[in-house]
Amino acid sequence: MMKQYVVTRPLYSEDAFADVHEKIHRHHKTVRHHVKQYFTCDLKRAKNAALSLLPFIGWMRIYQLKEWLLSDIVSGVSTGLVAVLQGLAYSLLASLPPWYGLFTAFFPVIVYFFLGTSRHISVGAFPVLSLMVGAVVTRLVPDEGPPVNITGFEGLTSDEQRVMVAASVTFLMGIMQLAMGLLQVGFIVMYLSDTLVSGFTTAAAVHILVSQLKFVLGLVVPGLSGPLSIVYTLEKIFVQIEKTNVCDLVTSILIMVVVFIVKEINDRYKAKLPVPIPIEVIMTVIACGVSYAFNFRVNYKVDVVGRIPVGYESPMAPNMQIFGQTAVEAFPMAIVGFAVAFSVAKVYSVKHDYIIDGNQELIAFGASNIIGAAFKSFAASTALSRSAVQESTGGKTQIAGLLSALIVMVVTLAIGFLLEPLPKSVLGAVVIVNLKGMLMQIREVPYLWRRDRPDCVVWLVTCLASILLGLDLGLAVGLGMELLTVVFRAQFPRCSVLANITGTDIYKDRKDYMSIYEPEGVKIFRIPSPIFFANIDFFRGKLVEAVGFNPLRVLRKRNKALRTIRKLLKKGELQMTSKGLLLTSSGPIEESEDESNMEELDQPTDFKDLPVQVNWNSELPANIQVPRVDVHSLILDFSAVSFLDISALKGLKAALKELIRVEVEVYIVACDVYIQKKLHSCMFFDDEVKSSMFFLTLHDAMLHILEKHPVNSENTKVCEKV
């Protein structure tokens, strides 16, 4: 037997409920009070501020030395080896000499250790950001032709100019992230939906794949940027495809096959393996040894990493002129870098049960990129694969990140020369094989098409625009399309007419159920959306469809008919009887005069100079045609209406007045209390539109209507008993 509940209570309108149940009047704080409270300082607030700004203090205080240290050491060493390799590889995406990737794997990690709130992400080079940096670098310092005329380029080599551009745009990106963090606007990342990010990163993976083909094939292809750059790059590759370096191609294919197979083994047996097999590192060491032994650079004309300077370079101030040239690209870089890092951090925070702060993450990444740029590193975020290594190898805190930075430092200061024989085709192969996760996101398209087509359109538009127009313009186009779909959903919501489920106090869309009850003359209309300036006309149009007549047209017809009736009564050609209006003449009825005065026709019908009130649903003379209104009561379900703006208030009031003037009783149910307050403060109510039309629930309004307009049927009795 199904469980039941029985409630016996009075029937409540909003006014009746307020009379019976006294409401607590809360004191709302003023802006002045909030400002005063914000700038008030005491010991507790100072302590909380310090813990918020330096989150490492919080987890260091609870650090379990015996249980966590060994795990962090293993994780740090594993992540550090991967960070070295990815730093070298992703430098190629940024169109920079490989060793600058080691700087990116060191300085931002140190800063994030102190300021970051995530304990598991691995900070450093991220392929999508590296590619975006590379687009800026090749635009200002192209492979072919002179660089853009920028003060400070004088006397610098091409590589030094590129490093200056990369560091300056990274510095600007860091300033933007830091400013957003200080202004507490971390919520901005919420505008980048999972669908948009998926489409964007898939397009970025395609760009990365194409950019690495020149290393895999051993071709000399200039870096290009801007709209259709991917098409022009492919054209340049295929034009000289016969010049492919066979040694580079074979090495790349071998590396990709082995790395792919071992990564699949890592995924399949990750529960049994103590740590994932660091296959990229192993294959890199082997490739270095083979390249050195057989002198690939000389014997097979293979392009290798080459000289890696020992130690770190002196700090460099950013070039202010480059700021002006790169501001448009720096902003999407700041957003993308933070969005990806925050989404990864959120996954691990949920998995390991701790809290991350979006605004503090912005501050942490902003400071990391600012300080990193000063030491010539390029844009840092987090790489998904590297973070997975740090977490899956047992990393508990950012101690693992700190140790990974120490591994990178050892390579930079002592053993970097061992990587000099490494073929760039190996780095390209490692980059390509790590794109699997991003490229496989294309499998989401069929699912999205079946489940949510507007989201699927966002994915496709973002992906295609990013591929063809470039990542910066593509992101802007995708964001515009995403906001357009949100506006479209809000502007054209799925309105419905509800009906009572027989024997219950439940109301559902009448198209979805068979056992429903609709009292004659009653309509229930639901709009599942806020009502605002963009959809108020749509709302009114759907309301007219629901009731089956245009109340304004009916009102005008009635007022025109009243003019005609008065004229005929005055001439004695019409009599008012107990059965209705009786036409005494057989001649045609002339149209009433002054029909151009529409304002008069829109006013309530006035019967004051007539002997009786006209029943518009009774029989009228043949030549007096007025549409019949079969609805006497309309219920508006506002349970899903979250706000109304001023334009909507005006439109709603006009619609209600039109209905009331054609003798339709209107009731609004389940209206949010803040909307009701707004209606009162905006002087919404008057002699026609009254607050008594608001009812607590839909069933309260329905029972009130049935009491006022009784209908003799079994369904009515059942409905009233509920």
Work out the burial of residue 714: count CB atoms within 10 Å of its CB; fewer than 13 is exposed, 13-18 middle, 19 or more buried. exposed
- Are residues 417 and 518 both part of a single domain? no
In a domain, 619, yes or no: no
Distance CA 457, CA 465 (A): 12
Domain count, the chain: 2
Domain that holds residue 280: 67-151+184-223+230-305+315-485
580, 617 in Cβ contact below 8 A? Answer: no
- Are residues 371 and 261 both part of a single domain? yes
195, 459 in Cβ contact below 8 A? Answer: yes
Distance CA 302, CA 298 (A): 7
Q: Which residues on adjacent β-strands are paired with residue 397?
A: none
- Are residues 384 and 524 both part of a single domain? no
- Are residues 379 and 520 both part of a single domain? no
Work out the burial of residue 703: count CB atoms within 10 Å of its CB; fewer than 13 is exposed, 13-18 middle, 19 or more buried. middle
Distance CA 150, CA 155 (A): 12
The DSSP secondary-structure symbol of 441 reads G
Could you give the count of Cα atoms lying within 13 Å of 463 in the half-sphere of its Cβ? 21
Q: Would you state the structure tokens that stand for residue 377, as one six-digit string? A: 């590193």
In a domain, 579, yes or no: no
In a domain, 411, yes or no: yes
Distance CA 55, CA 599 (A): 67
92: nearest Cα among 389, 427, 395: 427
- Are residues 669 and 635 both part of a single domain? yes
| Secondary-structure percent of the chain, ordered helix, strand, coil, rounded to 5 | 60, 5, 35
- Are residues 467 and 515 both part of a single domain? no
- Are residues 513 and 403 both part of a single domain? no
User: What pLDDT shows up at residue 615?
Assistant: 73
Q: How far is CA 198 from CA 28, 72, 263, in A?
A: 42, 31, 22
The DSSP secondary-structure symbol of 23 reads P
In a domain, 636, yes or no: yes
Q: Would you state the structure tokens that stand for residue 666, as one six-digit string? A: 């209107």
- The rounded average pLDDT for each run of 10 residues, N- to C-terminus, in the chain (722 residues) is 82 89 78 77 76 85 89 92 92 93 96 94 93 93 87 90 96 96 85 90 93 93 87 94 95 95 90 85 93 93 91 92 93 93 90 90 96 96 87 90 95 92 93 90 94 94 95 91 92 94 92 90 95 94 94 87 76 64 57 55 68 70 77 95 94 94 94 93 92 94 92 51 45
pTM flag (> 0.85)? no
Q: Would you state the structure tokens that stand for residue 274, as one six-digit string? A: 């103590």
Distance CA 260, CA 265 (A): 9
Q: Which of 457, 485, 513 is the last residue of a domain?
A: 485
User: Which string of b and e fits 183-210 if b means at least 16 CB within 10 Å?
Assistant: eeebeebeebbebbbbbbbbbbbbbbbb
Distance of CA 471 to the CA centre of its chain: 17
- Are residues 474 and 504 both part of a single domain? no
Q: Which of 462, 485, 508 is the last residue of a domain?
A: 485
User: What pLDDT shows up at residue 721?
Assistant: 45
Please compute Rg for the chain using Cα positions.
36
Distance CA 145, CA 100 (A): 24
Amino acid at 503: G
- Residue 512's CATH number: 3.30.750.24
Residue 350: φ, ψ to 5°: -70, -40
Distance of CA 3 to the CA centre of its chain: 41
- Are residues 89 and 210 both part of a single domain? yes
| CA-angle at 383, arms to 102 and 50, nearest 5° | 85
Q: Which residues on adjacent β-strands are paired with residue 522?
A: 633
288, 421 in Cβ contact below 8 A? Answer: yes
> What kind and span of H or E run contains 581?
strand 580-583
In a domain, 605, yes or no: no
Residue 304: φ, ψ to 5°: -115, 170
The full 3-state SS of 141-161, as one line of letters, equals: CCCCCCCCCCCCCCCCCHHHH
In a domain, 591, yes or no: no
Q: Which residues on adjacent β-strands are paired with residue 523?
A: 634
Q: Which of 485, 515, 538 is the last residue of a domain?
A: 485
Distance CA 85, CA 408 (A): 10
Q: Would you state the structure tokens that stand for residue 232, as one six-digit string? A: 């022009």
Distance CA 552, CA 387 (A): 64
- Are residues 536 and 670 both part of a single domain? yes
365: nearest Cα among 388, 342, 398, 399: 342
In a domain, 598, yes or no: no
- Are residues 392 and 512 both part of a single domain? no
478: nearest Cα among 470, 19, 511: 470
Distance CA 247, CA 455 (A): 44
Q: Which residues contact 139 (CB under 8 A, 6 or more apart)?
A: 148, 225, 226
- Are residues 473 and 510 both part of a single domain? no
Distance CA 485, CA 193 (A): 12
Q: Would you state the structure tokens that stand for residue 353, as one six-digit string? A: 């049960």
In a domain, 160, yes or no: no
